[in-house]
């Protein structure tokens, strides 16, 4: 037998050989940059390797790029430049071997960016921020002293909080080169969510900590907040208030215009701004990664917004064997984009990015295909239309108008396009829609959803655990007219998962409200072999927790060929609500009894509704 040819070993660049300090005492940003430059000079496959240890990376030393990315700050000129701690740009094949190291970030920045690369593999390291941009206050004790209510509040070590009259001032870490804090704010900031660590539940709410204050006094490890006589006595002992500003000025990590990027065995202890964002590329693989705070930090928040977002990818999004715990929005969100049609000139369409958080990058390339729909009901006006010319922003500068572009389609377009009113239609790039697989992962302590998906290529969500989320476990949507994130979903299976104690149903299929019509928006969605307990209908009023919440497995609007079968609940029956779901098939099979609430478009018969 002929022996297989051996593969030459990859060249290795050691970051310590370029001056990076694994003790964390010195800023390693420029040394890592030099090591990356050395790796680029080698060309071909190359490995960038870190020795075990801690590497300090300061925003003031970071490379900067003018970049425009989805779901951040749109075209806001204040945030054109992104500071990037570790920038991997233009590699054909780059591996980052973290060696178990901690990448410790100082100041607001994107932790690591993969831009214009063919293949990239990043593994075996931890990302964290020394002083996160979310502040946390744990109510340690409540009571009444001298007839006046009070709270004793703890904050994580390193938090810079200073009483200022009847409120407080928060200050981020001060950069020694700039002499200014990375960020600052006052009182309850702009946004609040609360974690109940005893119940493992997180929800969005207002912050009451600084209302009716008489006096704030610093104490070891935190604050004593005294309230005016007659104020209500606090009853929130043990709760953790998480406060932040709302400007998503950076993606926490970024993959941009790259072919195949894989993260594995990485811990994301804190991601500032907007999570791990992959945009306008090919494949994204996230395997055996942990999105949760590091033990010993005293913190509970690991993500300023979403944890993983894929926007306009063409390949496969694979997330497996991961843990998601403690974000301020969805754990996973996979979508494309709708652009609004402002005017039509023959086969030319003038388009606008209508959502304020998304603008400035090219949403179409020549040769890609698009679909044109009505904004009010999702009706397809034209599909599989080739784009033959694009005039729009580059995503890398502001030389072009950042919110407008013009595309030319391979016509002729239907008369309904020419006759449309401004804003009546929207366009989706259907080339940039990935397949999605999410498996063997856990989701908890999120105020919103575990997985939000809107892509027309195959979706599989299997063998996961969704526990204690504020909304649905899985949400399938299409959002022309609101967030302008695309759909529809045409091939999806959700199987073998466990959904428990959710503030919404296990699966919510909820496009922007569409009128009832014979043609459904989504199709071919199968929900089977899942376990469900204490999941509520949506929307709902009041407390959504506890056994009285119900066992809602599916709440669906506008789905053709929906199948819900062989699902179970420990007690009672499962609930399914259907709205404009022609030809749905709902039955118990080998599972628990099912109660179906349906509108007139659901054609009921004994075969489709066994079990009730």
| Residue range 366-422, pLDDT digits in tens | 999 999 999 988 889 999 999 999 999 999 999 999 999 999 999 899 999 999 999
pLDDT of 443 above 80 = yes
> Average pLDDT, stretch 188-199?
96
What is the pLDDT confidence band of residue 609, given thresholds at 50, 70 and 90?
Answer: very low
The per-residue pLDDT for 375 is 92
Average pLDDT, the chain: 93
| Residue range 573-587, pLDDT digits in tens | 999 999 888 889 998
The per-residue pLDDT for 518 is 65
Lowest mean pLDDT segment, chosen from 4-13, 220-229, 277-286, 422-431: 4-13
| Residue range 69-83, pLDDT digits in tens | 999 999 999 999 999
CA gap 140, 117 in Å, rounded: 48
Query: How does 318-342 read in b/e, with b if 16+ C-beta sit within 10 Å?
Result: bbbbbbbbbbbbbbbbbbbbbbbbe
What is the pLDDT confidence band of residue 547, given thresholds at 50, 70 and 90?
Answer: very low
| Residue range 482-538, pLDDT digits in tens | 889 988 999 999 999 999 999 999 999 988 766 656 678 999 999 999 999 999 987
Look at residue 103 and give its three-state secondary structure: strand
What is the pLDDT confidence band of residue 176, given thresholds at 50, 70 and 90?
Answer: confident
Q: Are 472 and 494 in contact (CB under 8 A)?
A: no
Distinct helix (H) and strand (E) counts, the chain: 2, 50
| Segment (H or E) for 601 | none
State the burial class of residue 426 (Cβ atoms within 10 Å of its Cβ: 0-12, 13-18, 19+): buried
> Average pLDDT, stretch 354-363?
96
Q: Are 149 and 227 in contact (CB under 8 A)?
A: yes
For 79, residues 6+ apart whose C-beta sits below 8 A from its C-beta are 72, 73, 247, 249, 250
The per-residue pLDDT for 2 is 40
CA gap 560, 563 in Å, rounded: 9
CA gap 279, 310 in Å, rounded: 6
């Amino acid at each position: 037998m002929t022996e297989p040819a051996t593969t030459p070993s990859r060249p290795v660049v050691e970051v310590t050989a370029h001056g990076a300090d694994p003790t964390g005492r010195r800023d390693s940003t420029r040394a890592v940059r030099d090591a990356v430059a050395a790796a680029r000079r080698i060309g071909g496959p190359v490995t960038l390797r870190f020795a075990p240890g801690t590497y300090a990376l300061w925003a003031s030393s970071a490379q900067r790029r003018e970049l425009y990315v989805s779901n951040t700050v749109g075209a806001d000129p204040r945030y054109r430049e992104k500071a990037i701690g570790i920038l991997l740009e233009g590699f054909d094949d780059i591996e980052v071997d973290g060696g178990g190291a901690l990448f410790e970030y100082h100041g607001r920045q994107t932790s690591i960016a993969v831009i214009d690369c063919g293949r990239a593999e990043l593994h075996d390291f931890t990302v964290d921020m020394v002083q996160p941009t979310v502040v946390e206050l744990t109510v340690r004790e409540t009571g009444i002293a001298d007839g006046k209510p009070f709270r004793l509040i703890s904050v994580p070590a390193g938090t810079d909080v200073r009483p200022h009259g009847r409120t407080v001032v928060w200050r981020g870490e001060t950069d020694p080169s700039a002499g200014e804090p990375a960020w600052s704010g006052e009182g309850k900031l702009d946004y609040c969510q609360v974690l109940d660590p005893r119940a493992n539940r997180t929800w969005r709410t207002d912050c009451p900590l600084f209302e009716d204050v008489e006096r704030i006094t610093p104490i070891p490890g935190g604050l004593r907040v005294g309230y005016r006589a007659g104020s209500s006595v606090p009853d929130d002992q043990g709760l953790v208030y998480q406060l932040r500003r709302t400007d998503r000025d950076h993606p926490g990590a970024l993959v941009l215009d790259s072919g195949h990027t894989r993260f594995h065995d990485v811990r994301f202890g804190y991601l500032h701004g907007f999570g791990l964002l992959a945009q306008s590329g090919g494949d994204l693989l996230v395997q055996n990664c942990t999105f949760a705070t590091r033990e010993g930090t005293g913190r509970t928040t690991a993500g300023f917004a979403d944890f993983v977002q894929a926007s306009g990818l063409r390949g496969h999004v694979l997330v497996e064997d991961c843990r998601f715990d403690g974000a301020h929005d969805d754990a996973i969100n996979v979508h494309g984009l709708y652009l609004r049609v402002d005017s039509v000139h023959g086969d030319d369409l003038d388009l606008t990015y209508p959502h304020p958080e998304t603008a400035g990058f090219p949403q179409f390339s020549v040769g890609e295909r698009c679909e044109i729909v009505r904004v009010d009901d999702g009706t397809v006006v034209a599909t599989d239309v080739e784009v033959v010319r694009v005039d729009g922003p580059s995503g890398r500068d502001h030389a072009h108008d950042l919110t407008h572009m013009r595309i030319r389609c391979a016509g002729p377009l239907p008369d309904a396009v020419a006759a449309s009113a401004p804003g009546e239609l929207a366009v989706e790039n259907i080339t940039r829609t990935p397949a999605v697989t999410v498996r063997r992962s856990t989701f908890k302590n999120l105020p919103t959803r575990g997985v939000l998906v809107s892509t027309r290529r195959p979706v599989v969500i299997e063998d996961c655990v969704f526990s204690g989320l504020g909304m649905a476990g899985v949400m399938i949507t299409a959002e022309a007219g609101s967030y302008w994130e695309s759909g529809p979903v045409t091939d999806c299976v959700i199987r073998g998962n466990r959904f428990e104690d959710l503030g919404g149903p296990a699966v919510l299929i909820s496009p922007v409200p569409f009128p009832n019509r014979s043609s459904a928006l989504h199709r071919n969605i199968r929900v089977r072999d899942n376990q469900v307990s204490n999941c509520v209908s949506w929307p709902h009023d009041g407390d959504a927790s506890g056994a009285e919440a119900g066992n809602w497995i599916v709440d669906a609007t506008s789905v053709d060929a929906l199948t819900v079968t062989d699902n179970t609940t420990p007690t009672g029956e499962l609930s399914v609500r259907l709205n404009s779901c022609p030809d749905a098939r709902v039955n118990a099979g080998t599972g628990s009894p099912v109660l179906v609430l349906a509108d007139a478009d659901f054609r009921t018969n004994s075969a489709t509704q066994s079990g009730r």
